[in-house]
Structure 1
Amino acid sequence: MTDTSRGALRRMRARNPHENHRAASPLELFFDLVFVVAVSLSSQQLHHMEADGNLGFGVLGYLMVFFAIWWAWMNFTWFATSFDTDDWLYRVMTFVQMGGVLVLASGTGPAMEQHDFTLVTIGYVIMRLALVGQWLRAAISDLDLRSTALRYATGIIVVQAAWVARLFLPDTAGFVAFFVLAAAEIAVPMWAESHRPTPWNPHHITERYSLFALILLGESILASTNAIIEALHEGHHIPDLLTLSAAGLVIAAGMWWVYFSREHHDHIDSLRSSLIYGYFHYLIFAAAGAFSAGVEVAIDATSDHAEATGIAASATLTIPVALFVLGIWALTIRRTLAPLGNSVFLFGVLVILVSTSLPGTGPVVATAVGTASTAVATEIDRKRASHGVNLMPKDRA
């Protein structure tokens, strides 16, 4: 990976997947910053739509927009773990993708409110075509992986052309086409990698995922703090708001505890396991992003600023938190826990779900208790889990 001169381009050959001490680069961290904007805007829009009583429409629009955000981030992340050269051309192409993210972020409002995906599609195409350039460069440089790289480039171009064509379809057809094209996007890596997998660095990949999880949890803390500050300025419902603030912090801490309670890198050891790990995180990340909106809805409901009340308002918080911790449990935790640990964990999830029907600040407080219970469950028999003991039988599928 050394270059002969400062301005020289490096051959984009696959990096060693067993490279020691492979950590996220400054460019990758810089790349993640623009996703802070995209995630924040989508979560804010979800909050406004949920608070106005448009729960179903808001969640659907959020899941559609978040797919574009998550998919663009994930594709760059997996490409970078295999082919990051960090020369000037690689940096410039990454900056182009970052510009596409900002265009996408600016279109989150129209996309979620009116299902007008014009700006989102333009930003998405910018990101994806820049990635095509990277795959073509890899195809030129790495003969062993040329066929795989060309499959990626071809698949991305075909699907992106279809995304543009979708903009000209009638509303109903365009709505259905979104999910068809999302499935096509997911199929491209499966098709490309089935020929000859690109080399992944498990430690690097899981670090990148953990950093994105931190971004999402940080968004929730920032959003809830800002909302509480605004509410406190009005001078009403102060005891309830302080309770919400404390409970929200406990929930975020519990979600962090659950996510980082186990090492993740051992879940990436084959094409199948890598796809499961990568794709399953859509649910986990989307739930984390929706959590911040749920906290804000709870604050609005307490301050009498939300049309959504009762179970509908509570569900905006409890369902995302339950999905997040349950998703992590299913992906990385359940096989490392003894029956007692799994029972305590699932009991905590049940507490979160049942709390949806409680009045006042009850759902937030009970969700904090349930989330804390799931965190405690991860520490049961911790010594055996830390030694890599698999306490549950592996699936034989």
Structure 2
Amino acid sequence: MSSTSPLRLGLSRMTGRSPHEPHRVASPLELLFDLVFVVAVSQASQNLHHGIVEGHAGSSTLSYAMVFFAIWWAWMNFTWFASAFDTDDWLYRVTTILQMGGVLMLAAGVHDAMANGAWGLVTLGYVVMRIAMVGQWLRLAASDPGHRAVALRFATGISLVQVFWVVRLAFPPEVQFWTFWLAMLLEILVPLWAERTHPTPWHPHHVAERFGLFTLILLGESLLASANAIIDAGASASSFSGLVLLAITGLLIAAGMWWMYFGFEQGDRMSSSRTGFLFGYGHYFLFAAAGAVSAGIEVELDLTTGAGEHLSLATASAALALPVGIFMLAVWAMLLRGKLSRLGSAVFLAAAALVLLSVAVPVSTVVVAAICVVVAVIVVEARRSRV
């Protein structure tokens, strides 16, 4: 709860919260915000799964990466703003709920975007979320003279980029595709430009907790995929053993990913704006990989049951091995590098490399991935027990 003083109409003055505030934890509103994003993440992973099974692995993976940028960027910008300026009054809550509406609009358009290349609804939902953030920054500019300059920079930069997102929809699909990357770059540059002279007072441990909670949501998708394997195992005697193996290894992979991520306290890694930006931006790869693991497990399920007519062993292997391997590399680069010993890092990276290389070997990728994840967890736990 914010400590700001109440003003007229039940509102509080929006000012920067202390980055050293003790016992700062996620608010119920932030938790609800995350739950709404479950819908968008689920839609993205499900459509990735269907695209791979239907023989469109390359295009589906690229579309997934594009959709996930919108999910990750909108979520992260709200999270960082809330860490620094959350007032928890009725206007702040209403504005946040408006962003949730944008999330649901985005989620509703994911299928058309990934399957048919129709990005209109996804773009509209994304713009709704971002314009709501403009409102938050303008409120800050009006309330806090000390943060007025950075707030106006954010409001201006975000608004201009949203105009670009909307205008590009008037052009043919191929133009929309190439201009997407320019719009994405502009979005990423806005915070770097806005905070160049006056950083916002975000709370390192609060931000670390928020990222951890979103990671749990993504891992929950993988656990759901493993649960589907268990459910199907009870209804299909012909592939019972294969489905049970998939359920066990899927659980090991999801639990191991959790263990790696939460092996050490992460708030102390963000000691400056530079390390904060690296932490936040690097999580795109970690989040996207974690969200794709559930699709990989579902693809393995289709391979086991023979449900995928256009599905090859190599494609199914890549669908699981690539996100698991990328997740491991991202965790090491952002969270474990400097925490593990040189030998520990070498073993951890070797395990990640073996997961990626399993794509080219005619073996059960899900088993190899599970074994490598367990090895990586042993490395993390061995180091953690000495700290």
Asked if these proteins are the same fold (TM beyond 0.5), I'd say yes
Using the alignment, how far apart are the partners of 2:385 and 2:304 within structure 1? 42
* 8 Å contact kept, 1:81–1:204: yes
1:21 is aligned to 2:12? no
Task: Pick the aligned partner of 2:221 from 211, 219, 222.
Answer: 219
* Structure 1 counterpart of 2:343, one-letter code: L
Alignment of structure 1 residues 265-276 onto 2, 5 Å: 265-276=267-278
Using the alignment, how far apart are the partners of 1:66 and 1:126 within structure 2? 16
State the partner residue of 2:158: 156
TM-score using structure 2 length: 0.96
Report deviation, 1:106: 0.3
State the partner residue of 2:343: 340
Using the alignment, how far apart are the partners of 1:231 and 1:62 within structure 2? 29
Note the aligned Cα RMSD (angstroms): 1.5
Task: Pick the aligned partner of 1:127 from 126, 129, 147.
Answer: 129
Using the alignment, how far apart are the partners of 1:292 and 1:4 within structure 2? 45
* Structure 2 counterpart of 1:381, one-letter code: R
Secondary structure at the aligned position of 1:381 is classed as helix
1:94 is aligned to 2:96? yes
State the partner residue of 1:354: 357
* Structure 1 counterpart of 2:81, one-letter code: F
* Structure 2 counterpart of 1:198, one-letter code: T
Secondary structure at the aligned position of 2:323 is classed as helix
Using the alignment, how far apart are the partners of 2:151 and 2:139 within structure 1? 9
State the partner residue of 2:313: 310
Report deviation, 1:355: 2.3
Using the alignment, how far apart are the partners of 1:329 and 1:4 within structure 2? 44
Secondary structure at the aligned position of 1:336 is classed as coil
* 8 Å contact kept, 1:228–1:299: no
* 8 Å contact kept, 1:12–1:142: yes
State the partner residue of 1:248: 250
1:374 is aligned to 2:387? no
Secondary structure at the aligned position of 1:107 is classed as helix
Using the alignment, how far apart are the partners of 1:48 and 1:55 within structure 2? 9
* Structure 2 counterpart of 1:96, one-letter code: L
* Structure 1 counterpart of 2:355, one-letter code: I
Using the alignment, how far apart are the partners of 1:177 and 1:365 within structure 2? 40
Secondary structure at the aligned position of 1:235 is classed as coil
Task: Pick the aligned partner of 2:113 from 93, 111, 114.
Answer: 111
* 8 Å contact kept, 1:7–1:88: no
* Structure 1 counterpart of 2:77, one-letter code: N
User: Structure 1 residues 43 and 93, CA, compared in 2 at 3 Å: closer, same or farther?
Assistant: same
The one-character-per-residue Cα deviations of 1:130-187 (angstroms, maximum 9, x if unpaired) are 1110000000111011000000000010000000001111222111100000000000
State the partner residue of 1:282: 284
Secondary structure at the aligned position of 2:238 is classed as coil
* 8 Å contact kept, 1:51–1:308: yes
* Structure 1 counterpart of 2:187, one-letter code: E
- Unpaired runs of 5+ residues, structure 1, are 387-397
* 8 Å contact kept, 1:224–1:295: yes
Quick one: percent identity of the two aligned structures? 53
Using the alignment, how far apart are the partners of 2:316 and 2:69 within structure 1? 24
Report deviation, 1:11: 0.3
Secondary structure at the aligned position of 1:195 is classed as coil
State the partner residue of 2:195: 193
Using the alignment, how far apart are the partners of 2:232 and 2:5 within structure 1? 53
TM-score using structure 1 length: 0.94
Secondary structure at the aligned position of 1:261 is classed as coil
State the partner residue of 1:68: 70
State the partner residue of 1:394: none
Secondary structure at the aligned position of 1:64 is classed as helix
Secondary structure at the aligned position of 1:372 is classed as helix
**How many residues matched?**
384
* 8 Å contact kept, 1:46–1:290: yes
State the partner residue of 1:392: none
1:301 is aligned to 2:299? no
Report deviation, 1:309: 1.4
Secondary structure at the aligned position of 2:145 is classed as coil
The one-character-per-residue Cα deviations of 1:258-294 (angstroms, maximum 9, x if unpaired) are 0011111122111211111100000000000000000
